[in-house]
Structure 1
Amino acid sequence: MVVDEPGAHRLVTLPRPSPGPGEVRVAVHAAGICASDREVYDGTRAEGYVRYPVTPGHEWSGTVEAVGEGVDPQLTGRRTVAEGFRTCMRCARCREGATSLCTDGYDETGFTRPGAFADSVVLPARLLHLLPDDADLRAAALLEPAAVVAAAVLAAGPRPGERIAVVGAGTLGLLAVQLLAAYTPARLTAVDPREQRAGQALSMGATDARTPDGGDSRFPPPEGGYDLVVETAGAPSTAHDACLLARRGGRVVLTGMFEAGAQGIDPVHLSVSQLTIRSVFGASSAAWSFAVRTFAEGLLDPAPLITHELPLTSFGEAVGLVGSGDPSVGKVLLLP
């Protein structure tokens, strides 16, 4: 599937690509479509973060089917996912392990390089994260957003017994609830205006669910606020609101992708409350390893988030579902 320019897509048949030195070709089993793919289609993605024409698809799973020169042939047949950022591994940020902060310029599978809305995808073998032989490849297609959430959790440093709130109960929010529940918080609140999505968080480890205006009076906010707030929605007001939920001296991690014009954080509240605020863009190699390990050990199960599975020929329908605003639409998969 090729998006030639905003609003224009076509299905094409091309020769099967051959992996070059250090590369592998992976047969795509499933590829998730998300709001970032919708931005690519609508033409609203920030300048420099997409290169047309492009084959989208940055959330995916598959099986290694061919290897290039210098790559271990025993990788063939292995189930896998892979990091999206094509990092240089030479700059100071890469060398310290912060690969999502590579200073060599933005370059990512599905945005500036051909992605997984195709039969196969070619990428450097060093980006692979191998899965168990019996891994559910449908669920594994969600390990890219899980890695982003893992980056947020690693940045947050949750501790047992803390009071934690997750703002947003979309894909990122529900994955965050699952990972944070493993830290045995005293309270884990999901905040979302959609009652159905907030309610789903209860089945994934949340102790209570609220709407942004306060919600169920049986679950008032803890006195003084939450120790940790993980924002995942990227809505116009959620960065500002997340800071108001945190207690004095608390921690806030911003994970959602905000658009220009989003409400800013009050600097007076920030300084008086002595908040620690972190942000996340993509996922480092360490975050990917953490997400894959929790998935392989059964601590993370993304499968319940999948609501639609469509063939690649239904790309237009899939984009429409993601942008519909229907709360019953969770993760949409394309099956090449």
Structure 2
Amino acid sequence: MKLAVINSGSSSLKFKLFDMKDESVIFKLNLEEITSHSDALDEVIKQLDSMGINFHDLDAVGHRVVHGGEKFKKATLVTNEVIKDIDSLSLLAPLHNPANLQGIISVKKIAPELKQYAVFDTAFHSTMAKEAFLYALPYEMYEKYGIRRYGFHGTSHFYIAKETAKRLNKPLSELNIISMHLGNGESICAIENGKSIDTSMGFTPLEGLIMGTRSGDIDPAIVLYLQRTLGYDVGEMDTILNKKSGLKGICGKSDVRSIIASDDEKSKLALDMMVRRVRKYIGAYMSLMDRLDAVVFTGGIGEHSSYIRDRIMKNMDIKNMFVIDTDEELEIARQII
């Protein structure tokens, strides 16, 4: 069985083709700075043709879709109705869902006979209890407008949970871990009995840990104060919180490798703040579970920075710590078989 996985960004398209007999990668291609998803897919098809692989003969195509709201809780066969639903959720993920849809629509135009599936970043977190996902706002804001914690990086956290269960020779249904996806975007997830019970990202990917350019948790009144005293509008506040804050806001740099290599006071402060926030979440999530089997690091920083891992784990009495390379594309392929 040959399955393709497509991750469509606003200016990029990542394509990976798997032979699911042994989960091997037959072909992969990352295209950056694209202006048309259809043209990018044409390039993918051209390269597949040169290998003697007909795109139309694939068994299915899986797509990463960032936001599934409350409606989508598992891999879903794409229909015209599903396309409309994903589009309607673009209000919750304006930077991601429209781009994800472009990949789906491009495949539909070129190969309408192919089965397509959407796999949602939010789906893994659909098991959170109401006391975990609700905000202490007027309840009607949840009922009428869907204001709640959704969580993200779910495909990565789910993959990590299953791989950790294998390493511990334990059924997924009995696994309790804290999964940390640390990169330019970061989230941490408490997984109890193989299911997400809490996660740091919230209504949007802005909440939670201190990230490359995102603030993570702040007092919401700061936004009101800045708007009242400095006259910032909604767009300016969005830019500050998502693109000018986090590590970059503190020391002017967002790449952790560069920050570690610097010896100035603000670079040190930025790392201290980042590490402290992660440790704070670990402690909070440990208190939610009666047993912790392991903590697991993944993502660009989690996988490659022993310096950050050592600082986070310092003096923590935790039995098992694993570093596992995430593979969201493989997890998407597994979910659509």
If the length of structure 1 is used for normalisation, what is the TM-score?
A: 0.34
Whichever structure has more strand as a proportion of its residues is: 1
Whichever structure has more helix as a proportion of its residues is: 2
Higher relative contact order at CA 8 Å, sep ≥6: structure 1 or structure 2? 1
If the length of structure 2 is used for normalisation, what is the TM-score?
A: 0.33
